Amino acid sequence: MPESGVKVLGAWPSPFVMRARIALNIKSVKYEFLEETFGSKSQLLLQSNPVYKKIPVLIHGDKPICESLIIVEYVDNVWSSGPSILPSDPYDRATARFWATYIDDKWFPSMQSIGKAKGDDERKAAVQQMEEGLASLEDAFQKTSKGKAFFGGERIGYLDIAFGCFLGWLRVTEGFNGVKLLDEGKTPGLAKWAESFCADDAVKDVMPETGKLAKFAKVIRAKMAAN
C-alpha cells in the first residue's frame, strides 16, 4: 500500500516524471501514481501546480512539490534514512547540480532539435551539437564517478537520475534518425553506465520500453502535424 498521502501526478512517457519515481524507489517509498492524460490537465494538477501547470507533482501529506529536480531533493531530505541521493560533500553536490542544470538547459534541447531539424544540414549540425554534449558528459562521468559504476559512485545518485531519465528518448531519437549517439567507441563510460542504470531495481520498472515510447512519439507527432 502507498504511504499515507504520497502521490505522484504524472505520465509514463515523461522523463521528468521518471525522476520523481526513481527517487521514491531508491528510498523504498510506496506511492500512488496518478496518470495524467496527454493534452489535458486534471483539476488536481491545476490546483497543485497553478504556476507552471505541469507534471510531475509530488503530493506529500496534501502538500504539493513541483519541478522534477526539486522533488528529487525533497525526497532525499524527507526520507533521510534511506540511501543518499545527493552527494554529502558540498563541492560534489554543487558539481552534480551544475551538470543536472546543463542537461536540462543545454543537452536535452539539443536532442529535441534533432527531431525538429529541417533538411540534412540542419540535422547534421544538431547531431554534432548533441555529440559534443555527450562528450562533455562523458568527461564529467569519468571525473565524478571516480571509477565507480555511476555518477553518484557505487549506486544511483542525483546526476544519474537527472541524466538517466532521458535514455529512453535518446534511443527513440537514434531510431527515428538512423544515428548512434551513445557510442561505445566515443563515450565508453556512458555506454556502460546506461546499461547499469537501466538494469537497476529503482529504474527498470519505470523506464519505458523503447518500442512503446516510439509508438507514443509517432502519435504525438501526428497530432501536432494535424494542428
Domain boundaries, the chain: 6-78, 90-215
Q: What phi, psi does 109 have (nearest 5°)?
A: -60, -35
Q: What does the block give as the cell for 168? A: 529512453
The domain made up of 6-78 is a member of CATH 3.40.50.300? no
Q: Which CATH number fits domain 90-215: 3.50.50.60, 1.20.1250.20, 1.20.1050.10, 3.40.50.300?
A: 1.20.1050.10
pLDDT for position 25 = 97
d(C-alpha 205, C-alpha 200), whole Å: 9
Q: Which residues pair with 6 in a beta bridge?
A: 60
pLDDT for position 1 = 38
Q: Whose CA is closest to 176, among 105, 128, 133, 123?
A: 123
Q: What phi, psi does 103 have (nearest 5°)?
A: -60, -45
Count Cα atoms within 13 angstroms, Cβ side, for 188.
2
**For the chain, which residues score pLDDT lower than 70?**
1-4, 224, 227
